[in-house]
Amino acid sequence: MKINVLTLFPDMFSPLQVSMLGRALEDGKWDLNLVNFRDFTHDVHHHVDDTPYGGGAGMVLQVKPIKLALESLANPGKVIITAPQGQRFDQQMAQRWADAGEDLTFICGHYEGFDQRVYELADETVSIGDYVLTGGELPTMSMIDATMRLVPGILGNSASPVEESFSHGLLEYPQYTRPADFEGQKVPEVLLSGNHQKIAEWRHYQSLKATWLHRPDLLKERKLSKEEQMMLDDIKQESGQDAF
């Protein structure tokens, strides 16, 4: 799977080239192609932006260098723009992109945004949240990281992404490792029991509890099974409060 990024600041993407994604990159399990669309300008000062028609503060990214940069790619695949008006990025979107296995091309904005005609070049416009950043590089890195770790072979343990937060609409259960007793704080006995069914039940309960306590909005979007509803009733009684 190949990821293309059209950006004015390719050096910002070094975090994707270390740790597990970096090792997978070195092993050829995915490919990262950083394209500086300033290289596709033809004036002496290599301008990629200009003042907006109709007046207003700030500068707007021009459509021509971005279009030329896109056309230089042999296979851009799905083209994605990061912008506040886009669909909210989430785990399900990352999973959809990973499952499709299609090459992805991200266009990173800066200044006061894009000439509106740039949006016509994209297949999807995506936002990572209701806040403003100085450019599209950080959102793009977040989306690449979230997506590529779901591609088979990228992570060492293929089960890891399946059990993580949001993969099933719930937050992840608590995790423990050695020592079993740290300054009086003990690992729950069930995790030491070797009873895999009991462990699975405990983890499911803890995931539901963490979600209800910290992200109850996720439960509003989830159709609870009869067993989960019974668990939730126990959790509410245990905590003595109602989240929603």
Please report whether residue 169 resides in a domain. no
Domain of 123 in residue numbering reads as 2-148
User: Does residue 25 share a domain with residue 68?
Assistant: yes
Tell me the C-alpha distance between 62 and 46, whole Å: 12
pTM of the model: 0.85
Supply the pLDDT for residue 139. Answer: 96
User: Does residue 187 share a domain with residue 119?
Assistant: no
Angle made by CA atoms 91, 94, 97, in degrees to the nearest 5: 150
Please report whether residue 176 resides in a domain. no
Supply the pLDDT for residue 162. Answer: 54
User: Does residue 16 share a domain with residue 107?
Assistant: yes
Please, what are the averages of pLDDT over each run of 10 residues along the chain (244 residues)? Answer: 98 96 96 98 92 91 97 98 92 96 96 92 96 94 97 74 65 94 96 96 95 92 92 91 55
Please report whether residue 156 resides in a domain. no
Please report whether residue 161 resides in a domain. no
H/E stretch holding 31 reads strand 31-36
**Residue that terminates a domain, selected from 125, 148, 171:** 148
User: Does residue 50 share a domain with residue 140?
Assistant: yes
Supply the pLDDT for residue 191. Answer: 96
Task: State CA 168 to chain mean position distance.
Answer: 15
Query: What tokens were used for 174?
Result: 């608590």
As a whole number of Å, the end-to-end CA separation of the chain is 42
Supply the pLDDT for residue 241. Answer: 65
User: Does residue 34 share a domain with residue 136?
Assistant: yes
User: Does residue 102 share a domain with residue 33?
Assistant: yes
User: Does residue 124 share a domain with residue 224?
Assistant: no
User: Does residue 185 share a domain with residue 144?
Assistant: no
Tell me the C-alpha distance between 60 and 49, whole Å: 5
For the beta carbon of residue 150, count every other beta carbon within 10 angstroms. Answer: 20
User: Does residue 208 share a domain with residue 102?
Assistant: no
Supply the pLDDT for residue 157. Answer: 60
User: Does residue 199 share a domain with residue 131?
Assistant: no
User: Does residue 137 share a domain with residue 58?
Assistant: yes
Rounded (10°) CA dihedral 10, 15, 20, 24: 10
User: CATH no. for residue 33?
Assistant: 3.40.1280.10
CA dihedral over 92, 93, 98, 102, signed as positive or negative = positive
Q: How many domains does one find in the chain?
A: 2
User: Does residue 216 share a domain with residue 141?
Assistant: no
